[in-house]
Amino acid sequence: MSDDELIGLAREVKENAHAPYSGFRVGAALLAGDGRVFTGVNVENASIGLSVCAERNAIARAVADGVTDFVRLAIVTDSTDEPTMPCGVCRQVIWEFARELPIIVESKPGARVHTTIAELFPRPFTSYKR
């Protein structure tokens, strides 16, 4: 699957975000090693601190289906001039499953950044041996 296709899926699912409080919608599309794509959106709550990011919701869907082998993550946010990088909590959760994962982030069409979890999260919390 091409970067454009994965970004396209993240852009499409972003429309389903539940973000009435921030008005900032995020869509994520996570490509697994077996070719399947797991999507996620941010789901906010009136009790604001309960809001969950799109990236973590995509990971949760994959893990629930028994998939933890991830090869690429696309994230699309509502229009900001610069692409919006995943939050610190999501970086820790991504790192749990993928140490070198390529990540593509786009805001308005074409405003795209290519990075990796290794670049975004160089010094993880890792107290347990796995």
Q: How far is the CB of 56 from ligand THU (least distance, A)?
A: 8
CB atoms within 10 A of CB 58: 27
Footprint on residues 101-130 left by ligand THU (CB under 6 A)? none
Examine residue 44 and tell whether it contacts ligand THU (CB under 6 A): yes
Question: Which listed range, 29-37, 63-71, 86-94, 117-125, lies at the site for ligand THU (CB under 6 A)?
Answer: 86-94
- Does residue 62 sit in helix, strand or coil? helix
Nearest to 69 by CA among 32, 43, 102: 32
Give 75: exposed, middle or buried? Use CB within 10 Å, 0-12, 13-18, 19+: buried
Identify the DSSP state of 21: T
Binding mask 4-43 for ligand THU (x = CB under 6 A): ---------------x--x-x-x---------------x-
Residue 55 known to be catalytic: yes
Whether the CB-CB separation of 16 and 29 falls below 8 Å is answered with: no
Name residues whose C-beta falls within 8 Å of residue 9's C-beta, 6 or more positions apart in sequence: 27, 29, 37, 39, 74
Of positions 30, 53, 98, 104, contacts ligand THU by CB under 6 A: 53
Choice between 16 and 51, CB closer to ligand THU: 51
User: Position 2: which residue type?
Assistant: S
Active site members: 55
Could you list the residues that contact ligand THU (CB under 6 A)? 19, 22, 24, 26, 42, 44, 51, 53-55, 86-87, 90
